[in-house]
Structure 1
Amino acid sequence: MTVFISYSHRDRDFVSSLAKMLVHARHNIWIDQWELNAGDSIIGKVQEAVGEADALLVVLSQASVASEWCQKELRTALVRELDEKRVLVIPCLIEDCDIPVFLKEKLYVDFRDNKGEAFELLDRSLSKVSNPAQSRIETKDFHTDWSVDWGDFDGEPVFEWLYVDHGPSIPYSVVTRIRLIVEDLDLLEFREMAKSGTHIRFGCDCLKKFLEEDKDGELRIKIEDENEIYETLPFVCPDGRNATIFWGVRRLGEDNGMSTLFSVDNLIRMSIQHSERVLREP
Structure 2
Amino acid sequence: KPFVRRLRGDLLAHGVPRVWLDEAEIDIGDSLIAKIDEGMKLSRYIAVVLSKKSIDAPWVKKELDVAMNREITSGEVVVLPLLYEPCDLPEFLKGKMYADFSKPDEYEAMLAKLLRRLRIT
Which structure has the larger Rg? 1
Can you give the 5+ residue segments of structure 2 that lack an aligned partner in the other structure? none
* 1:18 and 2:10 are equivalent in the alignment: no
Please give the TM-score of this superposition, normalised by the length of structure 1: 0.40
- CA–CA distance in structure 1, aligned partners of residues 55 and 7 of structure 2: 19
Q: TM-score, normalised by structure 2?
A: 0.92
Match of 2:109 among 113, 117, 128: 117
Contact 1:77 1:87 in 2 (8 A): no
Relative to its length, the structure with more helix (as a share) is: 2
Q: Which has the higher contact order (CA 8 A, sep 6+)?
A: 2
Identity over aligned residues, as a percent? Answer: 36
Deviations, residues 59-105 of structure 1 (Å, cap 9, x unaligned): 00011011010010011011011112245211000111111110011
Q: Which has the higher strand share?
A: 1
Native 8 Å contact 2:70 2:78 kept in 1: no
Report how far residue 52 of structure 1 moved.
Answer: 2.7
In 1, the alpha carbon distance for the partners of 2:32 and 2:58 equals 15
Q: What are the equivalent positions in structure 2 for 1:179-198 lying under 5 Å apart?
A: none
Aligned counterpart, 2:50 = 60
Counterpart contact for 1:80–1:87, Cα < 8 Å: no
Shift in Å at residue 32 of structure 1?
A: 0.5
1:68-87 alignment, distance < 5 Å: 68-86=58-76
Where does structure 1 lack aligned partners over 5 or more consecutive residues?
A: 1-11, 132-282
Query: Aligned to 2:53, what secondary structure does the other structure show?
Result: helix
Residue 24 of structure 1 aligns to which amino acid in structure 2? A
2:96 counterpart residue number: 106
Counterpart AA for 2:48: V
Contact in 1 for aligned 2:80/2:98 (Cα 8 Å): yes
RMSD: 1.4
- In structure 2, C-alpha distance between the alignment counterparts of 1:39 and 1:30, rounded to whole Å: 18
